[in-house]
Structure 1
């Protein structure tokens, strides 16, 4: 399908609209706060390692089943089954934030994300999110903080809908929500396997990958997608204003 036929552009989040800064001090503080919130007497690094082992088992199972738990269920059943369930439920969003702080570091908006999103919206495209994530609120909060929440018609998170990429069902759900046929949609991601597999299986009209040359995957990514870009702003060369 020609790019001129694309009506809706969906984005991944991690390494696409945002990047991470693995600041050791920030990560250490996140792990300390996580242990404190869980009322653990263990050393924060020991406590984090225990949770990491639990999470790794969960994540591998979720990759096979292509299903994710909602935030509260993840913390009650997988991460902190030995902590009072009502307390965990009341603080689930805080646990998620601190877990992500202690694992990935700071989440930073890519330098050209805001301007690119606003310009694509101004040019008449519907915009949406399809992402695998354990958080249910952080993405929406981030959109509001950046002043771009009005630009997005549809936000589909695996933690809210249980479906997980690359299951084509999560892409089909997003298309139904925004009212655009799959062939009229493009997807922007960073993973040459998961993002491409799901997008292709769902019948999207275009698959675009954003490259980080430092990861050494450029040739694989170029072979997998319809277009390979280095910066989000490169999308503005691909998608002119809709008539």
Structure 2
């Protein structure tokens, strides 16, 4: 582990943002998808659950196997709505993807997340985002609405690069954009087998695992073992002091089987 960390890259889902599964919010998005697909159904939510979501499971298998994210138009015409009017689907592909994201819930920054990011920047670290997700609109909209864009010097999304973690390519895109060397970088994520494995494959100097649910044990292996583990996002401030200062020994080291 390299203690001379200058760059910190964050995962989004389950790390920097969490989901509020408000039933009315989910139902509205599912209904909108049926409308955008031109589907007439007495129960659009049931149609979504039984058709679109099951097809997404098949798409996800393909995406994980090939570490690839499909363009929005391909996602809907090949995988999710191939039996609907093709021209209509092509026209609505971007909005369909945006609404699909909403069917999983309302995403909000984790408690203390924004304040921690701002403090890390103030301490001299360069921050970036490396995240797997579908859709091009949602992340940019969120960064602007929450006023967080100035704090991230690179935002790499699999929906833009078409490559997914743990494939090294998406990490290298981030390194190139900020001019960083991997040994001076830390990656923070909640999925050991994607976030941590990918960062280690790129020889990142440090990895930190997020475990918000203390009662859910992590399945650790030699390949996915992080250098540190946190239970609350603001604990990153215990790990990363102001640049040029000696780090306080508050690393929460993962215990075997925890």
Report the TM-score when normalising by structure 1. 0.92
| Cα distance between partner residues in 2 of 1:185 and 1:85 | 44
Structure with more helix by fraction: 1
Hey, what's the Cα distance between the residues in 1 that align with 2:235 and 2:17? 16
| Residue 158 of structure 1 pairs with residue 122 of structure 2 | no
Q: Deviations over 1:68-127 (max 9, x none)?
A: 11223212322222334443333323212221222x111121121111111111112111
- Unmatched runs of 5 consecutive residues or more in structure 1: none
Q: Which of 1 and 2 has higher RCO (CA within 8 Å, sep 6+)? A: 1
Distance in structure 2 (CA, Å) of the matches to 1:8 and 1:232:
17
Counterpart-to-counterpart distance in 2, 1:121 and 1:212 = 23
Asked if residue 210 in structure 1 is aligned to residue 210 in structure 2, the reply is yes
* Structure 1 CA distance for aligned equivalents of residues 214 and 32 of structure 2: 32
CA RMSD of aligned residues (A): 2.0
Instruction: Give how far 1:25 is off.
Output: 2.2
Show the counterpart of 2:8. Answer: 9
Instruction: Say which SS state the counterpart of residue 97 (structure 1) adopts.
Output: helix
Corresponding residue of 2:146: 146
Distance of 2:109 and 2:88 partners within structure 1: 32
Could you tell me which runs of 5 or more consecutive residues in structure 2 were left unpaired when the two chains were aligned.
245-258
Residue 111 of structure 1 is matched in structure 2 by 111
Deviation for aligned residue 1:215: 5.6
> How far does residue 163 in structure 1 lie from its aligned partner after superposition?
0.8
Partner of 1:80 in structure 2?
A: 81
Structure 2 length-normalised TM:
0.87
- Give the conservation status (yes or no) of the 8 Å contact 2:37–2:85: no
Helix, strand or coil: the match of 1:187?
strand
- Judge which range, 69-78 or 108-117, deviates more: 69-78
Separation in 2, partners of 1:74, 1:195: 23
2:179 aligns to what? 179
Q: Residue 125 of structure 1 aligns with which residue? A: 125
Runs of 4+ deviating beyond 4 Å:
none
Counterpart Cα distance in 1 of 2:192 and 2:131: 15
The residue that corresponds to 1:190 in the other structure is: 190
Cα distance, 1:47 vs structure 2: 2.5
Instruction: Name the CA distance, whole Å, in 2 between partners of 1:24 and 1:215.
Output: 26
Q: Distance in 2 between the 1:161 and 1:134 partners?
A: 11
Q: Which residue of 2 aligns with 1:96?
A: 97
Q: Which residue of 2 aligns with 1:32?
A: 31
Provide the rounded CA distance (Å) in 2 between the counterparts of 1:231 and 1:146: 20
| Cα distance in 2 for residues equivalent to 1:208 and 1:135 | 26
Q: Secondary structure at the match of 2:192?
A: coil
Aligned mates of 1:89, 1:176 — CA distance in 2: 33
Q: CA deviation at 1:37?
A: 2.0
Aligned residues of 2:129 and 2:156 also touching (Cα < 8 A): yes
Cα distance in structure 2, aligned partners of 1:186 and 1:14: 17
